[in-house]
A and B are shown apart, each in its own frame.
Chain A
């Protein structure tokens, strides 16, 4: 290996005047894409994909949750169990889209070389991961709201505090989308990413929708480990006559913390997947 004698003159590539940095004797580098504009661009591009590819899946997610609530109507008898079912089914829509579909998307993108496109653009890894995660979390909004409204009607729960979804969807969305992105990017093969996404969603279904009191204690611990649980609990608490807002905030804070950790892991996984 030898040192390369290079007398390459400075060549301003694409608006090098703004933001480019010069290394001694080397060409001026084009500026990097900044985090927020890049994030916005990825978000917008991902949202536009919904029109082409995602809408049928969003219907599936919503109908699945509504179907589960209809099934559970014969099992639970109002009260706390009904709240858990409605909250669990609503957050299940988030788990389906943000965790399962995003894990599949990144698994596929990584497997067939799609990541090369992003990796050869001067874009911060966090912008790609956060933009995609935010878009997938946004996809869940209509389905989650529809599920919550239908559930409240089915089980005669008050609609008064449904506004809390404004906090539940983005925070549970961040936690689950971060997990989905990390699983998709870390899985060595796309089939494994799909499998892990499906498993995560099944866990969210079983541990989130079924009322916790009836579960064996081992399963209850598993339930505590799943980030979607905290979104479910926060949402379920608001159906009561006098919601414990401090507990709601605490649950949401757990979601936010898991979101930060999982999105950081996903960003690191992206960096690792991009350069092999």
Chain B
């Protein structure tokens, strides 16, 4: 659970807080020094409230103490019983104006359940949700007038043409015919969907269909976009179109984006801040860079053996204890000097003959997830590419 009353021990992150709309942290190679000392490693992650209260930053979406429990189900023939599941467990969040805020977590972490509550599709058992000053728990129908939601399913639009899907969505968002058509044309043009505008969504590839649904979400402007895994199945061109469109709206209108993802790479590149979810709880919330600094003392070493690890080499046998093995691949999280020693050991002598490949990298959000106590099994639900 996020510590709300944490003292303002969080240092102003040089790049993090002041990051502009277009500034992007790219992944860097090579080990990075921990510039801030080590004292914060064991501390709680950032309290967004602390950061907020001092600066009066606009909060677009404020969530407090949100709880949602799925009741236990009795088993029937062929269907095993399931225990009660706390899909959202005392979640607190603050999403600020104009940021891309991410919810990261493996499948089943409770991301979609949380988003369904924020969009008014599901009533929480307890807690409060305020979006731009409106109480969404008491008035869930207001959510539709504040935000645009891109869900994971496209069934409602599947049999429409791309153009009609966008136009109809715009009309149902309250635009008149002329405006809905004008916005439809502008959005289809912006996303490069013109050539396939007359084709039904059903006949498109998964990525194109996703892009068409994204287009529908953009028709009829909203100050908050809630996007549930928007780029699933998209090629790089379509991805770029999506993030380009999002950036334009942020720069021109201060649009805020809540993004659900389980793609670690995407999270690192596009998000301003990220809340990491594990079994319904927010286990961390900070900028991707800020989160990575929590495990900055560690370096990730990946070793890929040709056939199998040469366990007869004593150094390799010693490393095995701290390695996560997956087939021929070993993943180790080590302190920098340990990493150096390990690399020296496997690149020299007998071990080198058995080595196929090795990489040395700064920690990713996946390492953060593990370091924060995310379960080792569920991390497999996080997609790396």
Contacts and interface: CB of A to CB of B under 8 A. Distances in A.
Interface in B163-183: 164-165, 167-169, 171-177, 179
A32 B148 CA distance: 13
A1 B128 CA distance: 6
B142 interface: yes
A111 to B, nearest CB: 9
A275 B121 contact: yes
Given A2-B65, A29-B145, A120-B120, A114 B173 contact: no
Contacts of A41: 167-168, 171-172
A114 B156 contact: yes
Interface in A23-56: 23, 25-27, 29-34, 37-38, 41-42, 44-45, 48-49, 52-53
A122 B164 contact: no
Interface string A109-131: 10011111111111100010000
Contacts of B127: 1
A120 B149 contact: yes
Nearest to B133: A26
A63 B329 CA distance: 62
A38 B167 CA distance: 12
B119 to A, nearest CB: 5
B171 A2 contact: no
Interface string A243-262: 00000000000000000000
B133 A38 contact: no
Interface centre among B56, B134, B165, B177 (most CB of A within 10 A): B134
A37 B58 contact: no
Contact of A13 (B65, B156, B222): B222
A120 B168 contact: no
Contact of A1 (B121, B126, B167): B126
Contacts of A37: 171, 176-177
Contacts of B133: 6, 8, 23, 25-27
A19 B123 CA distance: 27
A121 B176 contact: no
Interface string B84-128: 000000000000000000000000000000001001111100111
A33 B170 CA distance: 9
A90 interface: no
A30 B173 contact: yes
Contact of A8 (B60, B140, B221): B60
Is the contact region of chain A dominated by helix, strand, or loop, or is it mixed? loop
Contact of B132 (A27, A42, A116): A27
A11 interface: yes
A170 B244 CA distance: 48
Contacts of B148: 120
A11 B64 contact: no
B157 interface: yes
A3 interface: yes
A49 B156 contact: no
A38 B132 contact: no
A13 B64 contact: no
Contacts of A214: none
Nearest to B60: A8
Given A13-B221, A121-B173, A275-B121, A48 B164 contact: yes
A44 B165 CA distance: 11
A99 to B, nearest CB: 20
A114 B141 CA distance: 17
Given A25-B133, A30-B220, A45-B168, A114 B121 contact: no
Contacts of B169: 117, 121
Given A30-B145, A30-B222, A33-B171, A108 B122 contact: no
Interface of B: 56, 58-60, 62, 64-65, 116, 119-123, 126-128, 130, 132-134, 140-149, 151-157, 159-161, 164-165, 167-169, 171-177, 179, 200, 202, 220-223, 254
Given A4-B128, A29-B146, A116-B156, 12 more contacts: A6-B130, A8-B60, A11-B223, A13-B145, A13-B222, A14-B221, A27-B146, A30-B173, A117-B151, A117-B155, A122-B172, A275-B121
Which 3 pairs between the two chains have the least Cβ-Cβ distance? Answer: A26-B133, A114-B155, A27-B132
26 contacts: A4-B64, A8-B60, A11-B132, A13-B146, A14-B221, A14-B222, A15-B175, A26-B133, A29-B134, A30-B146, A30-B174, A33-B173, A42-B168, A42-B172, A45-B165, A48-B160, A112-B153, A116-B149, A116-B151, A116-B156, A117-B154, A119-B144, A120-B143, A120-B148, A127-B172, A275-B121
